[in-house]
Amino acid sequence: MANSKQYQRVRFDTGHHRRILVLMAIFGLVAFVPVAIRLWDLMIRRFDYYTIQALRNQTRSTAVSAPRGTIYDRNMDILAVSVAKENLYLDPRELKQSREDIEKISEFLASVLDADQNKIAEKAKNMRYRYQLIASNVEKEESDIIRQYINEQDIQGIHLEPSTKRYYPMETLAAQLVGFTNASNQGSEGLEAAYDKYLSGTSGKVVSTKGNNEMDMPFSLEDFVKTEEGCSLILTLDATVQACLENRLQEAIEKYQVENGAFGLVMEVDTGKVLAMATLGSYDPNAYLEIYDSTQAELLEQMRQDFMSYPQQSSQYLQGKEAYQKMLNDARLKQWRNRCISDGYEPGSTFKVLTLAAALDSGAIGLDDRFYCAGAEQIPGRSQRLHCWRSTGHGSQVTAQALQNSCNLAFAHIALSLGGERFYDYIQRFGVLEKTGIDLAGESGGVFFDRQIIVDTEKWGTASLTSASFGQTFKLTPLQLLRAISAVVNGGNLMEPYIVEEVLDADGNTVLRQEPTVVRQVISQETSRTMCSLLQSVVDEGTAKNAAVPGFSIGGKTGTSEKIDVLDEKGNPTLDKIVSFVGIAPMDDPQYIIIVALDTPSRDTGLYISGGQMAAPTAGAVLSDILPYLGVKRTG
């Protein structure tokens, strides 16, 4: 209390000071010298010291996070923004009301906030802490009602303080990419997590000053520690392209009764800028804890009701609750997951693009070489006969036809001509063995063979080399595949993909700007040009005719892969399939690349499950939406 007494002395304002000086002048300085010295000591010399002591004792500080920066797409459309809200807290010591009044106040607040009156009353009576949070992010309508009540009733001790709430106006759009912030306003997924240090700004403290007698302090120290607003992000993402991609993927999910969702990407081939990145089913980051998939949500609700029907602490209750919480947690993690960068999958025949580019670039084969397919063949170094996907065979094919037919036997021979060493070196240079380095958290690097298993065919046989040549028995991420194929068509350059174009501070100054980065040149310009015409022939004449878009030259490659590692209840492979298509446009000067993949189309639709039948038309539909929007000129 010593400080408090000293504090009472310094509470004279400058008016008092002046009056004392006047008195001193009137009654003669001498008599007042000791007093004046003491006053001077307290008021001037030691002012800072007492101020700090007083502040330590009299202030309440509340950590307030700074407003997070905004996330914009490349057209400055808002994907994530912080909106101003208010927190409601009580100061029980200030309230100092009779029990009856506390009941009345609690009842009023509970009715406005739709909250538990007893809990509010409990907090209002708890004198241990002077900061009792009643509600975060109160809507303006409600805080206005509360403010009016405070004024009308003249109540001390009910406080509204500024806070911010994260809002995602585009809801499910690009949800896994954008991510969300947790209850403490920290980025926990997607860009919100990867760029948290830029977005979050500097947290501060709001310090309000009240003396022990609840009088206002003679000096005011608002914003004692100032908050610094977070930086904003401008993405390479285009919300319109993203919406086109998501809509077409959703259509395909419904049309082909796809059981396990879909994913897709759109990228600029020359720069590595990501225009769209989608994983479906999605979720709404405004309510990220809720399970967005309605079937899954109903199942969970059923589980919850089941265990709730047992007496608490019974074993059925406890086991049921544990199973429910595990399933809920898994479902949340699944809907938040960005499959384009986090999950490897078997690329299947889309990978043949890389094998062929390597074989042509190294000179291992030429365009006039012929490959014979009888439907099945005993390949040297493989223990079993290798079957082409077309059991009746493709007959004699030149190189372009082998790609158009997506002939597995031809590609086994192309891989053997190339040899394990060159194949592995090219695959490595195409970035298949490394992460792409995209500016997002949670990127995975895929799973590929050890070098010796591909290279040392004397010891390991040719099964791994030949299977890898047509995209089987290993995994990579959709983004890894897409950037590798971008290098095939863009003149040979492997790029580092990115999603944030620019980081701006609160005043609009550039803090960070990303430029396209060439990692390395993988194939020659000439090979790249050759590959472009071959890829166009796959859409014009081969397995990807369904991807054609009238008026635009499209190239691409289909893929159908079995999920070899997914087993049914008896431990047998389910033979579930991922069908995919990688498309490029326009082929005279490639600018955009797209991948769409559908995970496990139903066997009951009567349609043949293949990339050509399902993924190619889906990608074609996206391209027909976005190419005119992106300003690509029609050729006919």
Give the footprint of Zn ion on this chain (CB under 5 A).
373, 388, 394, 407, 409
Q: Kindly tell me which of 374 and 447 has the beta carbon lying closer to Zn ion.
A: 374
Q: What is the 3-state secondary structure (H, E, C) of 372-430?
A: EECCEECCCCCCCCEECCCCCCCEEEEHHHHHHHCCHHHHHHHHHHHCHHHHHHHHHHC
Helical segments of 212-275, H only: 239-255
Burial 72-85 (b: 16+ CB within 10 A, else e): bbbeeeebbbbeeb
Residues 580 and 561 sit within 8 Å (Cβ to Cβ): yes
Determine how many CB atoms are found less than 10 A away from the CB of residue 147: 13
Q: Considering the complex, what minimum distance in angstroms separates the CB of residue 385 from Zn ion?
A: 13
Q: Kindly tell me which of 411 and 498 has the beta carbon lying closer to Zn ion.
A: 411
Whether the link from the prior residue into 586 is cis, omega within 30° of 0, is yes
**Closest among 478, 578, 498 to 264, alpha carbons compared:** 478
Q: Kindly tell me which of 64 and 407 has the beta carbon lying closer to Zn ion.
A: 407
Q: Considering the complex, what minimum distance in angstroms separates the CB of residue 618 from Zn ion?
A: 25
Q: For 165, phi and psi rounded to 5 degrees?
A: -125, 140
β-pairing, 376-377 vs 386-387, is antiparallel
Residues 222 and 201 sit within 8 Å (Cβ to Cβ): no
- CA distance from start to end of the chain: 89
Q: Considering the complex, what minimum distance in angstroms separates the CB of residue 397 from Zn ion?
A: 8
Q: Considering the complex, what minimum distance in angstroms separates the CB of residue 405 from Zn ion?
A: 6
Rounded-to-integer distance, Cα 297 and Cα 562, Å? 28
| All residues at 6 or more sequence positions from 252 whose CB lies less than 8 Å from its CB, including other chains | 258, 262, 596, 598, 614, 615, 618
Determine how many CB atoms are found less than 10 A away from the CB of residue 248: 24
| All residues at 6 or more sequence positions from 634 whose CB lies less than 8 Å from its CB, including other chains | 551, 552, 628
Q: Considering the complex, what minimum distance in angstroms separates the CB of residue 407 from Zn ion?
A: 3
Rounded-to-integer distance, Cα 208 and Cα 200, Å? 23
3-state secondary structure of 490: coil
Q: Kindly tell me which of 401 and 553 has the beta carbon lying closer to Zn ion.
A: 401
| All residues at 6 or more sequence positions from 50 whose CB lies less than 8 Å from its CB, including other chains | 3, 6, 7, 10, 42
Q: Considering the complex, what minimum distance in angstroms separates the CB of residue 300 from Zn ion?
A: 46
Q: Considering the complex, what minimum distance in angstroms separates the CB of residue 409 from Zn ion?
A: 5
Q: Considering the complex, what minimum distance in angstroms separates the CB of residue 543 from Zn ion?
A: 11
Q: Kindly tell me which of 321 and 390 has the beta carbon lying closer to Zn ion.
A: 390
Q: Considering the complex, what minimum distance in angstroms separates the CB of residue 502 from Zn ion?
A: 49
Residues 263 and 156 sit within 8 Å (Cβ to Cβ): no
Q: For 369, phi and psi rounded to 5 degrees?
A: -60, 150
Q: Considering the complex, what minimum distance in angstroms separates the CB of residue 376 from Zn ion?
A: 9
Rounded-to-integer distance, Cα 484 and Cα 425, Å? 13
Q: Kindly tell me which of 406 and 462 has the beta carbon lying closer to Zn ion.
A: 406
3-state secondary structure of 276: strand
Residues 307 and 326 sit within 8 Å (Cβ to Cβ): no
Residues 493 and 522 sit within 8 Å (Cβ to Cβ): yes
Q: Kindly tell me which of 131 and 372 has the beta carbon lying closer to Zn ion.
A: 372
Q: Kindly tell me which of 7 and 371 has the beta carbon lying closer to Zn ion.
A: 371
Rounded-to-integer distance, Cα 298 and Cα 292, Å? 10
Q: Kindly tell me which of 312 and 392 has the beta carbon lying closer to Zn ion.
A: 392
Q: Kindly tell me which of 373 and 487 has the beta carbon lying closer to Zn ion.
A: 373
Rounded-to-integer distance, Cα 630 and Cα 297, Å? 38
Q: Considering the complex, what minimum distance in angstroms separates the CB of residue 375 from Zn ion?
A: 7
Q: Considering the complex, what minimum distance in angstroms separates the CB of residue 562 from Zn ion?
A: 17
| All residues at 6 or more sequence positions from 417 whose CB lies less than 8 Å from its CB, including other chains | 359, 364, 365
Q: Kindly tell me which of 373 and 627 has the beta carbon lying closer to Zn ion.
A: 373
Q: Kindly tell me which of 393 and 617 has the beta carbon lying closer to Zn ion.
A: 393
3-state secondary structure of 328: helix
Site of tokens 């194949």: 423
Q: Kindly tell me which of 123 and 394 has the beta carbon lying closer to Zn ion.
A: 394
Q: Considering the complex, what minimum distance in angstroms separates the CB of residue 388 from Zn ion?
A: 3
Q: Considering the complex, what minimum distance in angstroms separates the CB of residue 422 from Zn ion?
A: 23
Q: Kindly tell me which of 64 and 388 has the beta carbon lying closer to Zn ion.
A: 388
Q: Considering the complex, what minimum distance in angstroms separates the CB of residue 285 from Zn ion?
A: 46
Q: Kindly tell me which of 235 and 388 has the beta carbon lying closer to Zn ion.
A: 388
Using alpha carbons only, how large is the chain's radius of gyration in Å?
Answer: 34
